[in-house]
Structure 1
Amino acid sequence: MSSINNSMVLPQARKNKVRRMNLFISFSAGLAGLLFGLDIGVISGALPFITQHFTLDSHEQEWVVSSMMLGAAIGAICNGWVSHRLGRKYSLMAGALLFIVGSLGSALAVNLEVLLAFRVLLGVAVGIASYTAPLYLSEMATENIRGKMISTYQLMITFGILLAFLSDTAFSYSGNWRAMLGILALPAVLLFVMVIFLPNSPRWLAAKGLHVEAEEVLRMLRDTSDKARQELNEIRESLKMKQGGLSLFRKNSNVRRAVFLGMLLQGMQQFTGMNIIMYYAPQIFKMAGFQSTQQQMMATVVVGVTFMLATFIAVFTVDKAGRKPILKIGFSVMAFATLILGYCLMKVGQGEATMNLSWVAVGMTMLCIAGYAMSAAPVVWILCSEIQPLKCRDFGITCSTTTNWVANMIIGATFLTLLGSIGAAGTFWLYTGFNLVFIVITFLLVPETKNITLEHIEKNLMAGKKLRDLGQ
Structure 2
Amino acid sequence: MKTPPSSLIYLVFLSLIAALGGFLFGYDTAVISGTITQVSKQFELDVLQQGWYVGCALVGSILGVAVAGWLSDRFGRKKVMFLSALLFTSSAFGCAVAAGFGQLVFFRIIGGAGIGMVSIISPMYISEMAISSYRGSLVSLYQLAITVGFLGAYLINFQLQLVAGGIGDQSPEWILWIFRDEVWRGMLGMEFIPAMAFFVLIFFIPESPRWLLVNKQEAAARVVFARLYRDTTQIQWKVEEVYATIARSSDKGWETLLRPEWRRPMLIGVAIAILGQFMGVNAVLYYGPTIFEQSGLTSGDALFYQVWVGLVNVLTTVIALVIIDRVGRKKLVYFGVTGMILTLLAIGIYFWNGEMLGIGVIWLLVLFLAYIFFTAISISAVIFVLLSEMYPNRVRGLAMSIAGLSLWVGTYLIGQLTPWFLENLTPSGTFFLFALMCLPYLYIIWKMIPETAGKSLEDIEQYWLQRKP
Q: Normalising to structure 2: TM-score of the pair?
A: 0.93
Q: Distance in 2 between matches of 1:72 and 1:378?
A: 20
From the superposition, tell whether residues 313 and 465 of structure 1 become closer, same or farther in structure 2 (CA, over 3 Å): farther
Runs of 4+ that moved beyond 4 A:
351-354
User: SS at the partner of 1:272?
Assistant: coil
* Counterpart residue number, 2:58: 69
1:129 maps to 118
Name the counterpart of 2:322: 316
User: Which secondary structure does the structure 2 equivalent of 1:144 belong to?
Assistant: helix
- Higher deviation after alignment, 448-457 or 357-366: 357-366
Answer yes or no: is the 8 Å Cα contact 1:388–1:458 preserved in 2.
yes
Alpha-carbon offset, residue 223 of structure 1: 4.1
Tell me, yes or no, if structure 1 residue 420 matches structure 2 residue 423. yes
* Distance apart, 1:447 and its partner CA: 1.4
Are the equivalent residues in 2 in contact too, given 1:80–1:398 (CA < 8 A)?
A: yes
How far 1:232 moved relative to its partner? Answer: 1.1
Whether the aligned pair in 2 keeps the contact of 1:288 and 1:344 (CA below 8 Å) is: no
1:341 counterpart residue number: 347
Single out whichever of 90-99 and 384-393 deviates more from structure 2: 384-393
Total equivalences in the alignment: 449
Deviations 1:424-453 (A, max 9, x none): 100110000011232222211121000011
RCO (CA 8 Å, sep 6+): is it higher in 1 or 2? 2
Please name the residue that 1:87 is paired with. 76
- Aligned: 1:102 with 2:91: yes
Partner of residue 8 from structure 2, selected from 8, 19, 36:
19
Which residue in the other structure is 1:456 paired with? Answer: 459
The one-letter code of the counterpart of 1:70 is: V
**Residue 396, structure 1, aligned to residue 399, structure 2:** yes
Instruction: Point out where structure 1 has 5 or more consecutive residues left out of the alignment.
Output: 1-11, 467-472
Structure-2 separation of matches of 1:215 and 1:66: 43
Counterpart check, 1:112 vs 2:118? no
- The 3-state SS of whatever aligns with 2:327 is coil
**Does the aligned pair in 2 maintain the 1:169–1:298 contact within 8 Å?**
yes
Q: Pick from 185, 188, 192: which aligns with 1:185?
A: 192
Counterpart of 1:54 in structure 2 is 43
Cα distance in 1 between the residues matched to 2:250 and 2:381: 32
**Identical counterparts, % of pairs:** 30
Structure 2 residue aligned with 1:9: none
How is 1:268-347 mapped onto 2 (pairs within 5 angstroms)? 268-290=275-297, 292-347=298-353
Name 1:469's counterpart in structure 2: none
Report the AA paired with residue 372 of structure 1: T
Residue identity in the other structure for 2:250: K
- Work out the CA distance in 1 between the residues paired with 2:442 and 2:325: 20
Q: What is the alpha-carbon distance in structure 1 between the residues aligned to residue 117 and residue 361 of structure 2?
A: 38
Distance in 2 (CA, whole Å) between partners of 1:394 and 1:28 is 19
Output the aligned Cα RMSD: 1.6
Moved more, 161-170 or 440-449: 440-449
Q: Equivalents in 1 of 2:333, 2:392: separation in Å?
A: 23
The CA distance in 2 between the partners of 1:19 and 1:325, in whole Å, is 26
Structure 2: distance between partners of 1:430 and 1:357: 23
Q: Which residue of structure 2 aligns with residue 378 of structure 1?
A: 381
What is the TM-score with the length of structure 1 in the denominator?
0.92
Say which of 427, 437, 456 aligns to 1:434: 437
Q: How far is the alpha carbon of 1:392 from its aligned partner?
A: 2.2
Instruction: Pick one of 249, 254, 259 that aligns with 2:261.
Output: 254
What secondary structure is seen at the aligned counterpart in 1 of 2:334?
Answer: helix
Is there any run of 5+ residues in structure 2 with no aligned partner, and where?
A: 165-181
**Secondary structure at the residue paired with 1:196?**
helix
Cα deviations by residue, 1:271-319 (Å, 9 ceiling, x for unpaired): 11100000001011112221x2210111011011000001012101110
CA distance in 2, matches of 1:228, 1:188: 34
2-structure distance, mates of 1:246, 1:436: 31
Question: For the Cα contact (< 8 Å) 2:72–2:80, is it kept in 1?
Answer: yes
SS of aligned partner of 1:450: coil
CA distance in 2, matches of 1:224, 1:358: 59
1:4 maps to none
CA distance in 1, matches of 2:379, 2:36: 26
The alpha carbon displacement at 1:16 in A equals 3.9
Which one is further off, 94-103 or 265-274?
A: 265-274
Letter in 2 for 1:55: E
Partners of 1:71 and 1:124 within 8 A in 2: yes
In terms of mean alpha carbon deviation, does 274-283 or 361-370 score higher?
361-370
- Which whole-Å deviations, capped at 9, do the CAs of 1:295-354 have from their partners, x for residues lacking one? 011101101100000101210111000000101111111111111111111236xx6596
In the superposition, relative to structure 1, how do residues 329 and 64 fare at CA in structure 2: closer, same or farther (>3 Å)? same
Aligned to 1:8: none
